[in-house]
Amino acid sequence: MSWIREGELNLIERLSANVLKAGPVPKHVAFIMDGNRRFARKKHVDRQEGHSQGFNKLAETLRWCLQLDIPEVTVYAFSIENFNRSREEVDGLMELAKLKFLRLLDERDKLEKHGVCIRVLGDLTLLPLDLQQLIAKAVVATREHNRCFLNVCFAYTSRHEMANAVREMAWGVEQGLIKASDVSEALLSECLYSSNSPNPDLLIRTSGEVRLSDFLLWQTSHSCLVFQSVLWPEYSFWNLCDAVIQYQCNHASIMKARELHQDEQRRQQLEADHACVAELLHHHGNGKPADGPRRQEAVAEYGLRREARVKDFLEALRNKRDSFLTQLASQAT
Ligand code: FPP
Ligand code: MG
C-alpha cells in the first residue's frame, strides 16, 4: 500500500466537505492511531495484519485531510513505551516501518508532484541502524517539499522530547551560544522535534481510550481534543468530519486561549529582559539607578541582542540536526 492514496470523494462526501470548508478548518491535525490489535482480534487476523491495515488507514486518512484542505498531519506511529511489547510485535512493527519507508523512496516522484514533506519526530538512535538510515534517507528526500506535511512520531514520547529540548538548551549554554537567562518557554518550543510545525489545532485519539499516552503534551495545551470509539483501521471519512465539527464548535474559545497565552509569553519575556538589564545596570552603573528612558532603551537593546543570540543558537541546532540526518542518509544502502 502506497503513502499517497489516489481516489475521489463520492458526491455526498464532496458536498459535506464543501460545507465543512465554509467554516474554520484545522491547519494541523494529530492522530493517536489506536486499536489495531483489537481490530485484528475482532476480524480474526494476526496482530501484524492489524498494524498493516492501520498503515493503510493512515494513507486513506491523509487523502481525506488533503481533500478537506488540512495541510499538516502528525501521527503517533511508535511510542518509546511500545519497545516494551513482545519481541515479535516490536520486530513486526520495525519490519513494517522498513517496508513503508522503502516504499516511500520508490514513490519520490509522486511525493514531489503533491509537494509532500515527510518528517520523522523521535529519538532515531533507539532504532535499528538500518531503519535509522532508511528513515534519514526518506526525510532528506522530501525535506524541500512544502505543500503538505506528514510528521511521523516514531520512537517518540513527549517527555523524552522535552528532556531532549532541555539538553539542547544546556548544550547552547555550554557552547556559549546562549545565556542561561535566554531559556524560556518559547525557546524550549523551538528546541522540540516539532519546532518546524505550528501546534496541532485538533488531536484525535481512536479506540475509546481517553488519555494522551505521552503524545505532544507540550504542543496540545490549546488544541481541541477529540476521543472517538472507532478502532483505527475502521476509521472513516465521517469520523474525521465529526472531529472537524467538534473543532469548529470550539474554535472561538481555542483562539481566545491561544491569544491570552501569547500575550502572557510576551509579558514574561519583557519581565525577564527587564530583570537582566536591572542586573547589568547594577553591575556596570556603579549602583546608580538608571532613569526611565535610559532603562527603556537598555531593555530594547538587550531584547535585540537576545534575539540575535537565540537566532544563531537555533541555526547551530538546525545545522547539528541536519548533519546528523545527512550523514545517516549517506550511509543508507
Ligand atoms: C496502536 O494500536 C498502534 C500502534 C502502536 C502502531 C501504529 C502503527 C501504524 C498504524 C503503522 C504506521 C507505520 C508507519 C511506518 C507510519 P495498538 O497496537 O495499541 O492496538 P490496541 O489498542 O487494540 O491494543
Ligand atoms: Mg493501544
For residues 200 and 223, the answer to whether their CB atoms sit within 8 Å is yes
**pLDDT confidence of residue 115:** 94
**pLDDT confidence of residue 7:** 84
- Cell numbers for 115: 509537494
Binding site membership of 222 for ligand 1 (Cβ less than 6 Å): no
Mutate to test the pocket of ligand 1, among 33, 38, 57, 211 (most ligand atoms within 8 A of CB): 33
Which stretches in the chain have pLDDT values below 50?
Answer: none
Residue among 247, 248, 242, 194 nearest 217 (CA): 194
**pLDDT confidence of residue 288:** 64
35 CA to centre of ligand 2 in angstroms? 5
Residue among 126, 135, 177 nearest 319 (CA): 177
Mutate to test the pocket of ligand 1, among 5, 31, 36 (most ligand atoms within 8 A of CB): 36
**pLDDT confidence of residue 3:** 84
**pLDDT confidence of residue 287:** 61
**pLDDT confidence of residue 197:** 97
Q: List 120's β-bridge partners, or say none.
A: 152
Rounded Cα distance, 316 and 322, in Å = 10
- Which atom of ligand 1 is the closest one to the Cα of 76? 7
Binding site membership of 213 for ligand 1 (Cβ less than 6 Å): no
Binding site membership of 155 for ligand 1 (Cβ less than 6 Å): no
Binding site membership of 82 for ligand 1 (Cβ less than 6 Å): yes
**pLDDT confidence of residue 289:** 63
- Which atom of ligand 1 is the closest one to the Cα of 47? 18
- Return the ligand number nearest the Cα of 73: 1
208 CA to centre of ligand 2 in angstroms? 10
Mean of the per-residue pLDDT values for the chain? 95
Binding site membership of 100 for ligand 1 (Cβ less than 6 Å): yes
Task: Name the residue at shortest CA distance from atom 1 of ligand 1.
Answer: 34
**pLDDT confidence of residue 293:** 83
